[in-house]
Amino acid sequence: MSVNDENPPADESPADEPAVKHEWDDPAAPLWNGLKYGVRGLGVLLVAGLLIFWPWKGTPGLWGVLIGAGIGGAFILITVITILLTRTAPPSVVMGALMGSYLVKVVAAIAVTALIKDMDFYHKGALATTLIGAIIAVLGAELYGVMSTRQTYTDADGTTGG
């Protein structure tokens, strides 16, 4: 028998430790990037809204921005979180979780807006502007995060290409 002292042994990590995953090997990487960029986009919008409405409208502007960013950001980000939590489940479970989370989000948004409708501690313009901005900014940031993720693509059938 000969001993190979020149080459180190193959990776002998324990079976319970997962190998290091790269972005292009992880099927959930686009979702994680979408979540990351969505949270960043919401943060940028929140800071911008506060810099505009808080000095301009005072405390009502502050509350309008916070409520608008909370409703708009949560409404969009909860979808990505739901998909991430159910990514290993069967498709019917994922769809059920998405529909259930959508129902909860709609009911919560209606309840919050109905609850604060007649209150005057917030500025309605700041809330509406931030809410619409949050939906656009978070969706755009998530789209960028998903589209900029590097993923491995293989064509097992050999049907594409030249």
Q: What is the tens place of the pLDDT at every residue in 37-78?
A: 999 999 999 999 999 999 999 999 999 999 999 999 998 889
DSSP state for residue 3 in the 8-state scheme:
-
DSSP result, 70-134? HHHHHHHHHHHHHHHHTTTS-HHHHHHHHHHHHHHHHHHHHHHHHHHTT--SS-HHHHHHHHHHH
Q: Any idea which residue has 């789209």 for tokens?
A: 143
- List phi, psi (to 5°) of 58: 75, -150
Q: Which of 83, 77, 86 is nearest to 105 (CA)?
A: 77
Sequence-distant (≥ 6) Cβ neighbours of residue 148 within 8 angstroms: 33
Nearest to 71 by CA among 116, 33, 32: 116
Per-residue confidence (pLDDT) for residue 10, from 0 to 100: 57
At 113-133, the pLDDT tens digits run: 999 999 999 999 999 999 999
Lowest mean pLDDT of 2-16, 40-54, 86-100, name the range: 2-16
Identify whether the C-beta of residue 130 lies closer than 8 Å to the C-beta of residue 4.
no
| Least trusted range by pLDDT, from 8-17, 30-39, 116-125 | 8-17
